[in-house]
Structure 1
């Protein structure tokens, strides 16, 4: 079931909220690792920005240090490229295409053992970005070697489907949040076939995050954990999009 959320405020309410927030303790928002396409259209010039942020549209410069050691690669012909160089910019860590252009950039990072609500877990982040408007070519890139959690996008008119798999098998019940523009999102879970379908209109960029909890514990650097939480972010251009990027 899809749930669409809009975040709009009546006049005067933002000021009231601000005054209330002064007396409230600061709480942490969830942040994720994203690869965000730049506006370059030619495949030989394509690139992405690596950011660590709550939303794909809002780079947070002070958090870049958390991902500056991440290895970003391209997947071409089902083979991963060598590590791509990163350069610091106002929009995040810029990653340019490899010698053999491919529409798919990928990255991963183990963020270590965390504890929340009395439960310890291993936190793993994965990010992928399909650049350019040639969406029929996206499936040719294949799945990322070694990734248990995967999501392959496909577009049909003004709707898109994310096909989610776990160990190459359809993954039902995966939690998904799709950022449609600056103030709305769609949430839901994959169906029995591992598919999640949603509609869009004028979005320049579509950004989704997928969560799957693996009920497997273990030990990392002397710290025990009860389960493993996988977060995968996927970004791709709307092939017919003419609007400005998410903002």
Structure 2
């Protein structure tokens, strides 16, 4: 029995380790971005971008206006130029269906976001039109991450956080949809999942729920 339990745990950790998510990753100069489907913020040479090419990417400018961003497809990443005066990049892509014997048939939807230098909290918040998003909120030198669904806080959501030192940790939102703060400076990559109990049909296949995955890439000072 102990051996079986160990196998189950090992399989669970292996599944977590190989999980891939859609991240929008700004270059150091902030002039271009890469969109990757990866365990981390680097392109994965074993993953193609075919299912991510439909990403609709938008830039929010410092005056609040939004403009579409055209990306170019590559074998393992999408690339795009960042419009002048952009402070936020956000997007949505329907990835496809999840069909497994151990889970309800589900539609997978990714909501990647990247915050550029000088972006304030208001500009960093997509709001009601975002099915799921992560918003960093900084106070007294500490930053917590707030999870919103359609503009409302989402409680009890687990966030997986890639830390600036290359390590990873997990945080969880409280009843107000916010996590405990982090304190280290550098680049963070975060993802969170929220399941919407909504049935529908995609490409002729029926699903019973929608699995929303929000990601965030942000440089904290």
Shorter-chain TM band:
0.7 to 0.9
1:120 deviates by 0.8
- TM-score, with normalisation over the residues of structure 2? 0.80
Determine the structure 2 residue equivalent to 1:131: 116
Determine the structure 2 residue equivalent to 1:103: 87
Q: How is 1:81-100 mapped onto 2 (pairs within 5 angstroms)?
A: 81-86=67-72, 88=74, 92-99=77-84
- For residues 205 and 182 of structure 2, the distance between their equivalents in structure 1, rounded to whole angstroms, comes to 42
The 1:140–1:146 alpha-carbon spacing in structure 2 relative to 1, beyond 3 Å, is: closer
Work out whether residues 52 and 66 of structure 1, in 8 Å CA contact, stay in contact via their aligned partners in 2.
no
Determine the structure 1 residue equivalent to 2:157: 174
1:206 deviates by 0.7
Determine if the alignment matches structure 1 residue 35 to structure 2 residue 20: no
The Cα offsets for residues 168-214 of structure 1, whole Å up to 9 and x where unpaired, read as: 22111122111114542221321011101332424x21111011011
The 1:79–1:115 alpha-carbon spacing in structure 2 relative to 1, beyond 3 Å, is: farther
The Cα offsets for residues 143-177 of structure 1, whole Å up to 9 and x where unpaired, read as: 15632212211223553111211222211112211
Work out whether residues 139 and 152 of structure 1, in 8 Å CA contact, stay in contact via their aligned partners in 2.
no
Work out whether residues 109 and 126 of structure 1, in 8 Å CA contact, stay in contact via their aligned partners in 2.
yes
Determine the structure 2 residue equivalent to 1:20: none
Aligned length: 204
Q: How is 1:140-155 mapped onto 2 (pairs within 5 angstroms)?
A: 140-143=123-126, 146-155=129-138
Work out whether residues 78 and 142 of structure 1, in 8 Å CA contact, stay in contact via their aligned partners in 2.
no
- TM-score, with normalisation over the residues of structure 1? 0.73
Determine if the alignment matches structure 1 residue 159 to structure 2 residue 142: yes
Determine the structure 1 residue equivalent to 2:37: 52
Flag the structure with larger Rg.
1
Work out whether residues 74 and 98 of structure 1, in 8 Å CA contact, stay in contact via their aligned partners in 2.
yes
Structure 1 gap segments, 5+ residues each: 1-25, 240-247
Answer 1 or 2: higher relative contact order, Cα 8 Å, separation at least 6.
1
The 1:75–1:145 alpha-carbon spacing in structure 2 relative to 1, beyond 3 Å, is: farther
- For residues 156 and 173 of structure 2, the distance between their equivalents in structure 1, rounded to whole angstroms, comes to 5
Runs of 4+ residues over 4 Å off in structure 1: 87-90
Determine the structure 2 residue equivalent to 1:188: 171
The Cα offsets for residues 49-69 of structure 1, whole Å up to 9 and x where unpaired, read as: 11111112x311442333234
Q: 2:55 aligns with which of 70, 78, 87?
A: 70
The Cα offsets for residues 122-158 of structure 1, whole Å up to 9 and x where unpaired, read as: 10001000012x24x2423541563221221122355
Q: 1:119 aligns with which of 104, 115, 121?
A: 104
